[in-house]
Amino acid sequence: MTNTSSATVLSVVIPALNEATRIERTLDRLVVQDAIDEIIVVDNGSEDDTRRVVSDYSLAHPKVALVEESTRGIPAARKTGFDKAQGDLLARTDADTLVEPDWGEVIRDHLTEHPDTAAVTGITTYHDSPVGFFLKFGYYLQDRRGKLGGPVGNMHGPNMAIRRSAWLAVREDATTRADVAEDLDLALCLTKRGLRIDQLKNMRAQTSARRRRTNPRDWWRFQLTGLRTITEQGYQVLPFHRAVIVGAWLTHTVQWPIYRFWDFDRRRFTLRPAPPRIAPTGD
């Protein structure tokens, strides 16, 4: 597939907070894709060298731009990025995520060929997990049961895209609070307006599993942001929703001892447990 539509610009927005050691790998995957016309990194108040790293990178890669958002949290950073972007199509990923080489083409082609689709989300696995095969196997089982692909009611932040027209339609409804699940919040905004979200099995990305180092108590608090998001958007929290977060928490708790002794930089186990990670509500 090649980029045959010069009128349709695909912008990618990357919220970033203290990602100086990781973001270049993410950008390397994006800048080489002809289907991607613009990459906007939104620095969210980094205290490391993230701004310098991105600024230096942009000198060699003009499609990369750096903007700043002082209000902490992905919702505010994403909103700033989407507002600054020039694209008719607005994609989002994380600063520690590695997208597949055809990621931009998959997004552009699907939204071009399916004008009734407002947004897309994909399949996200881990690139640095010692037990990432469990997640891949889970996706395999879902696919075998016909549970992957097609219309869905949620999106995954590191692997999603939305039409600009759809963003403008829900922009005022989408929250900028840091204590909600921003991807679920955006999906609920779209759903309330009857706008379609498609899950694409060939829209692939690999994110970091380092959030799995969050201790179970803080992870439970993070899981509760999903219920808060549902309530804030005017929906009723159902027993199904509670069952989902309990299941997600139990899965995390079982794996947490493994990640405590996993060195993400060296990709090997260590005898000394790493310090717990803060729950991922704002990065």
Examine the pLDDT at 3 and tell me if it is beyond 60: no
What's the confidence (pLDDT) of residue 94? 98
Examine the pLDDT at 281 and tell me if it is beyond 90: no
pLDDT digits (tens, 9 = 90+) for 21-62: 999 999 999 999 999 999 999 999 999 999 999 999 999 999
Q: Which helix (H) or strand (E) holds 241?
A: helix 239-260
Q: Residues 94, 123, 197, 147: is their CA dihedral positive or negative?
A: negative
pLDDT band at 277 (very low <50, low <70, confident <90, very high): low
Rounded Cα–Cα distance for residues 55 and 7 (Å): 27
What's the confidence (pLDDT) of residue 273? 80
What's the confidence (pLDDT) of residue 188? 97
- The backbone torsions φ and ψ at residue 43, rounded to the nearest 5 degrees and listed phi first, read -75, 130
pLDDT digits (tens, 9 = 90+) for 146-204: 999 999 999 999 999 999 999 999 999 999 999 999 999 999 999 999 999 999 999 99
| Buried/exposed code over 241-263 (b: 16+ C-beta within 10 A; e: otherwise) | eeeebeeebeebeebbeebbebe
CA 261, distance to chain mean position in Å, is 25
What's the confidence (pLDDT) of residue 271? 84
Does residue 119 contact residue 161 with C-beta atoms inside 8 Å?
Answer: yes
Examine the pLDDT at 4 and tell me if it is beyond 50: no
CA separation (Å) from 34 to 90, 103, 107, 185?
15, 10, 12, 30
Does residue 20 contact residue 53 with C-beta atoms inside 8 Å?
Answer: yes
Number of residues that this document lists for the chain:
283
Examine the pLDDT at 283 and tell me if it is beyond 50: no
Examine the pLDDT at 279 and tell me if it is beyond 70: no
**Average pLDDT of 210-233?**
95
Examine the pLDDT at 278 and tell me if it is beyond 60: no
| Position with higher pLDDT, 274 vs 39 | 39
**Average pLDDT of 132-153?**
96
- The backbone torsions φ and ψ at residue 128, rounded to the nearest 5 degrees and listed phi first, read -140, 25
Going along the chain from its start, the domains and CATH numbers come out as: 10-210 (3.90.550.10), 213-269 (no CATH)
What's the confidence (pLDDT) of residue 30? 98
Does residue 125 contact residue 132 with C-beta atoms inside 8 Å?
Answer: yes
DSSP state string for 177-236: -TTS-HHHHHHHHHHHTT-EEEEEEEEEEEE--GGGGB-HHHHHHHHHHHHHHHHHTTPP
Examine the pLDDT at 280 and tell me if it is beyond 60: no
**Average pLDDT of 122-147?**
96
| Position with higher pLDDT, 152 vs 275 | 152
pLDDT digits (tens, 9 = 90+) for 92-127: 999 999 999 999 999 999 999 999 999 999 999 999
What's the confidence (pLDDT) of residue 136? 97
Examine the pLDDT at 227 and tell me if it is beyond 60: yes
